Amino acid sequence: MIRLLVADDETLIREALAALLDLEEDMTVVIQADNGEDAAALAELHTPDVAILDLEMPPRDGLWAAARILGGNPDGPTATRNTHGPKVVLVTRHARPGVLRRALAAGVSGFVPKTTPADQLARIIRDVNAGRRYIDPEIAASALTEDRSPLTERELELLRATRGGGTIDEIAAELHLASGTVRNYLSTAMKKLGKRTRHAAAQHAWEQGWI
């Protein structure tokens, strides 16, 4: 019997997926979670064979939870795979090249879209449990055709600092720049990316794998 953890912040989707997977003769959902932090903690407590994680779960997303479950540093650029822990399958609505690269670096075994039929997901879970890896072909193709960054190194540096949660003044102090200079660089980056806020620009750059 393959023991599963299912995590998704949307209750209806999570419970429906858990119910469908429970219908499989060789699978049982042992625990559910609605955010990344709980998913990581419950995985350690219940030791499932496979954790199925929604990528977008505030406040900590599925990639953060995957890195924690797989034994790495969830806040670092890469993670070290724990070969004795659960396998992880990430489920997402969007194919994002940078996120896929981070997932693979963390040791994630499966990366699938939310449009995947339940019977196909069950087959993928069996393959993952057996030690194989599955990456959705369309997601893999998007990673091969990703856009090149239009941003300068300084703009990328400031967007990276923005993702750290600091204010303009804090970022300026950290990087030894004037606050006005920081605003100007971030404003330019926002215009290049077509984003209305620095946080949206930083999120986009992160998803693309530029920072």
Instruction: Write the CATH number for 11.
Output: 3.40.50.2300
Which pLDDT score is estimated for 95?
66
d(CA 120, CA 124): 6
d(CA 134, CA 132): 7
Residues 174 and 85 in one domain: no
- Residue 163 near residue 203, CB atoms below 8 Å: yes
Would you state the structure tokens that stand for residue 186, as one six-digit string? Answer: 């971030």
Largest distance between two CA atoms of the chain = 62
The total domain count for the chain is 2
Question: pLDDT higher for 175 or 72?
Answer: 175
Residue 181 domain boundaries:
153-207
160: nearest Cα among 186, 195, 179: 186
pLDDT of residue 82 exceeding 70: no
Domain end point (choices 144, 168, 192) = 144
Residues 136 and 157 in one domain: no
Residues 126 and 170 in one domain: no
Residues 74 and 137 in one domain: yes
pLDDT digits (tens, 9 = 90+) for 134-192: 999 888 877 666 667 899 999 999 999 998 888 999 999 999 999 999 999 999 999 99
Residues 30 and 131 in one domain: yes
Residues 139 and 160 in one domain: no
Q: What is the reported pTM?
A: 0.72
Domain end point (choices 106, 127, 144) = 144
Domain end point (choices 112, 144, 176) = 144
Interval 117-145 mean pLDDT: 89
Residues 127 and 157 in one domain: no
6, with CB counted inside 10 A (0-12, 13-18, 19+), is: buried
Which pLDDT score is estimated for 184?
96
pLDDT of residue 104 exceeding 90: no
Q: How sure is the predictor about 72, in pLDDT bands with cuts at 50, 70 and 90?
A: low
Residues 76 and 179 in one domain: no
Residues 119 and 164 in one domain: no
44: nearest Cα among 26, 15, 22, 65: 65
pLDDT digits (tens, 9 = 90+) for 15-63: 999 999 999 999 999 999 999 999 999 999 999 999 999 998 888 889 9
d(CA 139, CA 97): 7
Residues 179 and 82 in one domain: no
Residues 11 and 80 in one domain: yes
CATH number of the domain that residue 174 is part of: 1.10.10.10
Which pLDDT score is estimated for 83?
53
In the Cβ-directed half-sphere of 130, how many Cα atoms lie within 13 Å? Answer: 9
Which pLDDT score is estimated for 79?
43
Residues 101 and 161 in one domain: no
Torsion region of 176: left, alpha or beta (phi above 0 gives left; psi -120 to 50 gives alpha):
left
The three-state DSSP-derived secondary structure of 62-117 is HHHHHHHHCCCCCCCCCCCCCCCCCEEEEEECCCCHHHHHHHHHHCCCEEEECCCC
Which pLDDT score is estimated for 37?
94
